[in-house]
């Protein structure tokens, strides 16, 4: 009975939540061109701010939970649907699906906290702090290059790379997830501005190319 009540509560919570860019859903769909450039919001991911020395004993325990900690700027670690993005020598952003969040029946945050134990470090739930934009297609890189100073050529920014940068003057973490796909992690308060900026940057690709 208790489990049923908890499940009903979780389903109710999912029903009433609104993601930071949910009001742009129709515009994102209308402004996307399959195969050329597609922009979607990937809402409600579990995100955890993690501070730990990756070479310490507690770092090894965290690795057992998260699947690996990146050791260099730009690297991405993790396993089994959990990605760990490098933010600093001992600072990371852990990103996973929403169902691993403790409040939804998962154990990720509690497990990371337990792995850290009483050692110096930090585990902070940042799930409501950021949202995710997913940008893909043959023109995805060209769109980002309009407002990002990083060298996004594959030789410098291959799949499996994530860096803190700015897109459209908005601070973000930018991850390359595939040959023509990116994830952009802005703070929730910037979701509206960045979503509209990306749509505007995509606009020139909404019309057929002139031969």
Domain that holds residue 184: 21-43+131-206
Q: Does the pLDDT at position 146 exceed 90?
A: yes
Residues 79 and 178 in one domain: no
148 and 100 in a single domain? The answer is: no
pLDDT digit string, tens, across residues 42-75: 999 999 999 999 999 999 999 999 999 999 999 9
What is the model's pTM? 0.89
191: Cβ contacts below 8 Å, ≥ 6 apart: 19, 20, 21, 41, 131, 133
Residues 164 and 91 placed together within one structural domain of the fold? no
From 83, 110, 128, the end of a domain falls on 128
* Alpha-carbon gap, residue 36 to 180, rounded angstroms: 10
Domain count, the chain: 2
Residue 10 in domain: no
Residues 195 and 156 in one domain: yes
Residues 53, 149 within the same domain: no
Q: Identify the band that residue 208 occupies on the pLDDT scale cut at 50, 70 and 90.
A: low
């Amino acid at each position: 009975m208790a489990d049923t009540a908890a499940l009903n509560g979780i389903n109710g919570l999912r029903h009433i939540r609104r993601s930071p860019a949910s009001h742009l859903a129709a515009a994102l769909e209308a402004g996307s061109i399959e195969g050329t450039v597609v922009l979607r919001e990937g809402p409600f991911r579990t995100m955890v701010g993690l501070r730990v020395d990756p070479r310490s004993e507690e770092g090894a325990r965290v690795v057992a939970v998260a699947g690996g900690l990146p050791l260099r700027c730009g690297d991405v670690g993790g396993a089994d649907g959990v990605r760990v993005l490098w933010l600093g020598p001992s600072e990371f952003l852990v990103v996973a699906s929403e169902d691993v969040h403790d409040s939804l029946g998962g154990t990720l945050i509690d497990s990371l906290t337990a792995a850290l134990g009483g050692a110096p470090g930090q585990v902070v739930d940042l799930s409501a702090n950021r949202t995710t934009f997913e940008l893909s297609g043959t023109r995805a890189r060209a769109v980002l290059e309009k407002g990002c100073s990083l060298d996004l050529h594959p030789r410098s920014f291959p799949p499996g790379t994530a860096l803190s940068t700015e897109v459209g003057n908005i601070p973000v973490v930018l991850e390359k997830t595939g040959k023509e796909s990116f994830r952009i992690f802005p703070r929730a308060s910037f979701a509206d501005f960045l979503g509209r900026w990306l749509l505007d940057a995509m606009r020139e690709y909404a019309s057929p190319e002139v031969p």
